[in-house]
Chains A and B, each alone.
Chain A
């Protein structure tokens, strides 16, 4: 199955911290596709909050969101959308 992906920049002040990572996991869990977050050669499972946290992405990090599976496109759209909206933090 084809893997699709998109690069985004983490814009929120605190980077990918617990709250933002939790939001990604909550979205990822709704999809059947396998979802990964990649940064500097490290890969984190989009459905694991701990994995995402250990990726340690501060503000300004460029990450690549990848998805493989039947609903990959929608998953990428929702996750990158969330990141681009700064995780809806104030």
Chain B
């Protein structure tokens, strides 16, 4: 590349997956799909040579796995069994003997023989009913791809022994890849694939490593061992940065780190206003991997565990056992703090790929969440069983989404009781005092909050949907998104009504929408008298800090002003809170 100044500062935009800034050299981890070609072997000598090539590749793979095992970083010791299983699969007769036999019998090249072996294994595994075991085909695929890489002479990049501090650039990263990395050496992640909730993003967030994902063709456009600036907060990558850019970002990085250190240092202090009003702060999570981050950031439990991930991440429905293991692990880690598990909120635009349901005219108002669960009773019951079973191992609460009337909560509770009766009969232990709650995210639920409050142990206000339904404005529609307004007096009055009803019946009331993590809304929420806010893990330290620097009295003034606003709210007075 020439040294002309116009070549400096090439900015690539991706998805901001994990915040923070790093400046450093890139390191390409090549994990692309390999093309396999078919070759017919002409004579015995070629067959013997091909068999030997296979044996060598297996040996080399075995050495690499042994090395991984020896050098797995301490924090990933729990994952060792995966590598152990990989080592066994390598020499397993279903793979090893079978491939050798195919090479000899069919007189074909190793690569093609491996492909046949893998197809056979896939067929055998696809018949297994247990979802967890069926999913182990992934381990076999990983092993086969390692052998293929060695056959291609590419080796398997030894990402466990990355020596310098680098920014990893890859097409995509699997859980196996990240678990093998020497994370201390990784300053940042950049991937072609991925979204805010993909595996790489979650790992990056929980390890607090800046990351940009979904940056199409990143692996083509960013060179290996190239100096770059990675801004995980903005989703930007700057290639060939000028001196001025480097200085600017060094300053930004310093400031950001100072700020983080400041707020994280106090994250474990309680969320209590100067004048002594205490509110509980919990975390929203979607995947098991996020749990530790939530606790590190000072949450007092999980206020919303969204359970869709396991249903959306695979082609087949998860089995009760898989769900149970997952919920149990979450609640064991979080105990003695509570974990509020929200039952399946599928439908609308989120569908498990194997459920063929007709397209809806208006999915947001269609067959989704609790309505979907009533229709898909076996799916619902299997999830309820898993949740109840997990409740034996920690402090679990259960929450039903999209409740719009009393009859729905009554019906959901009836199904829950039936499931619990089954468990009792089967002598499977569960928490008999398991608390049941209702999401308040439909305007009709607000209107009858007094009646609903008699049926449940707690409310959790889901503001994302409540705002959209109340104001009839889709926040993803560019023409009406401006109407999506948490400050709308109508909404604040609704929240007040829900809190009042809850207090009258003596039940707990939480908020788990994005509004709860909006610094400008915090004084309003304090004044409205919510018992709990459940927010995305990374906002926890900041929100706690805002609360600790607020007073309830001042917050009440803002609220009374806001409830009477006729036009658009002037938030200039509130920005003080955001800067806390």
- Hey, which bits of chain A sit against chain B, CB under 8 A? 13-19, 21-22, 25-26, 45, 47-51, 53-54, 56, 58-59
Contacts and interface: CB of A to CB of B under 8 A. Distances in A.
Nearest to A45: B93
Contact of A48 (B82, B92, B321, B325): B92
Given A45-B93, A50-B95, A19 B128 contact: no
Interface in B122-146: 124-125, 127-130, 132-133, 136, 139-140
B89 A58 contact: no
B94 A58 contact: no
B481 interface: no
Interface of B: 81-82, 84-85, 88-89, 92-95, 121, 124-125, 127-130, 132-133, 136, 139-140, 321, 325
Nearest to B82: A18
B129 A50 contact: no
A18 B139 contact: yes
A66 B188 CA distance: 51
A58 B322 CA distance: 11
27 contacts: A13-B321, A15-B130, A15-B133, A17-B136, A18-B81, A18-B82, A18-B85, A18-B136, A19-B81, A22-B88, A26-B88, A45-B93, A48-B92, A49-B85, A50-B92, A50-B95, A50-B121, A50-B140, A51-B93, A53-B133, A53-B136, A54-B128, A56-B128, A56-B129, A56-B133, A58-B130, A59-B321
A25 B321 contact: no
Given A22-B85, A49-B85, 19 more contacts: A16-B133, A17-B132, A18-B85, A18-B136, A19-B81, A22-B81, A22-B88, A26-B88, A49-B89, A50-B94, A50-B124, A51-B93, A51-B94, A54-B124, A54-B125, A54-B127, A56-B130, A56-B133, A58-B321
Contacts of A13: 321, 325
Contacts of B140: 50
Contacts of B132: 14, 17
Contact of B321 (A14, A21, A47): A14
Contacts of B130: 15, 56, 58
Contacts of B121: 50
Nearest to A59: B321
B125 A49 contact: no
